[in-house]
Structure 1
Amino acid sequence: MNDMNALHVEGLTKSYGAGEPILRGLELTVPAGALAAVLGPSGCGKTTMLRIVAGFLRADEGTVRLGDRLLSGPGVHLPPERRRIGIVPQEGALFPHLSVARNVAFGLTGADRSERRRVTDEMLELVGLAGYGDRMPHELSGGQQQRVALARALAPRPGLVLLDEPFNALDSALRAGVRADVRSALRATGATAVLVTHDQQEALSTADLVAVVRDGRVAQCATPQDLYRRPADPWIAGFVGDAVLLPGTVEGAGTALTALGAVPLAAPPDGLRAGTVLLRPEQLRLTDTDSDGSVRGTVTDVSYYGHDAMVTVAVQGHDTPVGIRVAGPLSVRPGEETGVRVVGEAGLHP
């Protein structure tokens, strides 16, 4: 994969009026052909970043490059139509008076009629809507409209595709299927893509890279697995999944003492004598009360989800109950005593 379509965002700063800056030196690199999810709470700056990359907003400082092309920087602001960027907005935003085929062909200016038809047919087939060209947008479901919006964005062969919370309006049953289709269509064209979302599961299950934005900066950018297993701090850990946070004191080079007993650390403590020990709920196991290596606790709550359950247990020496993810049939009820044991290694944070 050549580097022509790699996205490089450097030092992006943006304020609206005299208020606090929305972006504070944001940095993001997306390799060519990768799908990066930009994840963060409302108001963190992720949509502002997307609008600057698209060319709809000017940054106060910083640069945006696509490969070796400078799209935005000091004294440079390429208009959106010259950036070779496709955009899939929220809820599709199709032209209601144009057929599906004419929506898809909308950006194919300069191509002759037969070429427009060929590309349109190819794109509709790619998104699983071959034969839908003559339909009108109002005749399609929400998921089909999002697929047409993607086909329209991909038709001019952009170097970069920006997806702004594109699955928001879909019900949860549709979401997973449309997400998978979007991902495979992007892979098939080799386009670099940036998906803005506030849905953690969507980011982790769809993207090659996940960038977590906090207060106008990228707090951590990593593969979904690294982000989940090695979050940079407890806030990120809690934002991308359920986290069990325990005060711990370091004992020796590789263990921390906690309310759940001695827990092995994934990395050396780096001079820390005490800190916050970070575990995931699936690293805790329910055991018999007198089992070796377990601590005793009382079940306070059980939330059953079908494929698994979250069991909340109060343990001595820790103020808040801990969550334990349990697969398979449940053997405990609220009020019962149980043992709790830690499996695997924990992170330690200041």
Structure 2
Amino acid sequence: MNELHVEGLTKSYEEGELILRGLELIVPSGTLAAVLGPSGCGKTTMLRIVAGFLRADTGTVRLGGRLLNGPGVHVPPERRRIGIVPQEGALFPHLSVARNVAFGLTGADRCERRRTKDEMLELVGLTGYGDRMPHELSGGQQQRVALARALAPRPQLVLLDEPFNALDSALRAGVRADVRSALRATGATAVLVTHDQQEALSTADLVAVVRDGRVAQCATPQDLYRRPADPWIAGFVGDAVLLPGTVGADNTARTALGTVTLAAPPGGLRAGTVLLRPEQLRLTDEDSVGVVRGTVTDVSYYGHDAMVTVAVDGHDTPIGIRVAGPIRVRPGEETGVRVEGEAGFHP
């Protein structure tokens, strides 16, 4: 089993600034976990501690039950059985693709090295590229080679440090899918550090949101998006409509968008913040119960959908509504807005 346990990590630098503040994270064996957070939150520091490049001030790191970091214990990076895929691949420019992939296969005989190299290149879709040099590859191909190199020694854990940053948007989705497929094919446990919310939600089995040196919430992508622990997380992992609300009868709340049904009982709270997602709102020409009127202030068209912002009475800022299909409204026009589904509620 290759389960990763990170417990109580703290880390400060020479300036005295505390970067990690008791960070806790469990990544089950065979799981791809994304560590998501804004710049400076501590996610890269955590990655470097797990890799062995930094020493934690306090706390422990265990991998497959083996203590890597702890009081009086610091296993060096080369003995951790951890593969690393850095931001821009960092391939050896003077070595061929095949020799890059085989670089970490120390102790294996020639036949084993060749078999593993061929297997890894096939796994990442680069069969026949072994004789090429890194400069002859595209950015996406270089990242695939970096993944093959990391997987070749059969590590217990693979760390991916924002590996898609240098790729253009047209390449990212394809390379992400290839990386995810390769990790699942080998059954590797993996941690992906990213600041890209869509990347985390679409790629990982588990997403840990780091805020101020701690994991603020760790959940599956769907649970994180649908049931964020607080309004900040709701806004960080996606577009959010946050409305002041007053709890009424029958598990409902009164808001600027009318009375909405809550997903869970508010536990005796009478006032708080109601959370909706833009795709839960509908534009309508109807003038019926549950429909509020507003004025369109902006339309942003993205092809597959559009974001329409509408100003409604009782709310200070325009509300974003995600609309699929043809856009039938323009800025300045009046429209109706209706809520569908259940809302979250936070004190």
TM-score (norm 2): 0.99
Contact 1:13 1:23 in 2 (8 A): yes
How do 1:45-56 and structure 2 match up within 5 A? 45-56=42-53
Q: What is the distance in 2 between the residues matched to 1:301 and 1:73?
A: 54
Q: What is the distance in 2 between the residues matched to 1:67 and 1:8?
A: 8
Q: Secondary structure at the match of 1:323?
A: strand
Q: Alpha-carbon deviations, 1:243-274, whole Å to 9, x = none? A: 00000000024000000000100010112110
Q: What is the distance in 2 between the residues matched to 1:286 and 1:292?
A: 14
Q: Alpha-carbon deviations, 1:90-119, whole Å to 9, x = none? A: 100000000100000000000011110110
Q: Which stretches in structure 1 are left out of the alignment for 5+ residues?
A: none
Deviation at 1:319, TM superposition (A): 0.5
Q: Alpha-carbon deviations, 1:145-164, whole Å to 9, x = none? A: 00000000000000000000
Aligned residues, how many? 347
Q: What is the distance in 2 between the residues matched to 1:324 and 1:42?
A: 28
Q: Percent same amino acid at aligned positions? A: 90
Q: Alpha-carbon deviations, 1:189-243, whole Å to 9, x = none? A: 0000000000000000000000000000000000000000000001000100000
Over aligned residues, Cα RMSD in angstroms? 0.7
Q: What is the distance in 1 between the residues matched to 2:288 and 2:126?
A: 57
Residue 101 (structure 1) aligned to one of 81, 98, 102: 98
Q: What is the distance in 1 between the residues matched to 2:78 and 2:171?
A: 32
The list of structure 1 runs, each at least 4 consecutive aligned residues, that deviate by more than 3 angstroms after superposition, is none
Q: What is the distance in 2 between the residues matched to 1:69 and 1:226?
A: 30
Deviation at 1:19, TM superposition (A): 2.1
Contact 1:301 1:311 in 2 (8 A): yes
Contact 1:26 1:216 in 2 (8 A): yes
Q: State the match for 1:151 in structure 2.
A: 148
Most deviating of 289-298 and 265-274: 289-298
Contact 1:85 1:160 in 2 (8 A): yes
Deviation at 1:332, TM superposition (A): 0.7
Q: Secondary structure at the match of 2:103?
A: helix
Q: What is the distance in 2 between the residues matched to 1:243 and 1:289?
A: 24
Contact 1:308 1:326 in 2 (8 A): yes
Q: Alpha-carbon deviations, 1:272-315, whole Å to 9, x = none? A: 11001000000000011513310010000000111101000000
Q: What is the distance in 1 between the residues matched to 2:286 and 2:293?
A: 6
Q: Which stretches in structure 2 are left out of the alignment for 5+ residues?
A: none
Q: Secondary structure at the match of 1:235?
A: helix
Contact 1:289 1:296 in 2 (8 A): no
Q: State the match for 2:27 in structure 1.
A: 30
TM-score (norm 1): 0.98
Q: What is the distance in 1 between the residues matched to 2:17 and 2:346?
A: 29
Contact 1:259 1:317 in 2 (8 A): yes
Q: Alpha-carbon deviations, 1:106-155, whole Å to 9, x = none? A: 00000011110110000000000001001000000000000000000000
Q: Secondary structure at the match of 1:106?
A: coil
Q: What is the distance in 2 between the residues matched to 1:307 and 1:102?
A: 43
Contact 1:253 1:269 in 2 (8 A): no
Q: Secondary structure at the match of 1:107?
A: coil
Q: What is the distance in 2 between the residues matched to 1:52 and 1:315?
A: 49
Deviation at 1:18, TM superposition (A): 3.9
Most deviating of 115-124 and 282-291: 282-291
Deviation at 1:20, TM superposition (A): 2.3
Residue 182 (structure 2) aligned to one of 181, 185, 207: 185
Is 1:161 the counterpart of 2:165 in the alignment? no
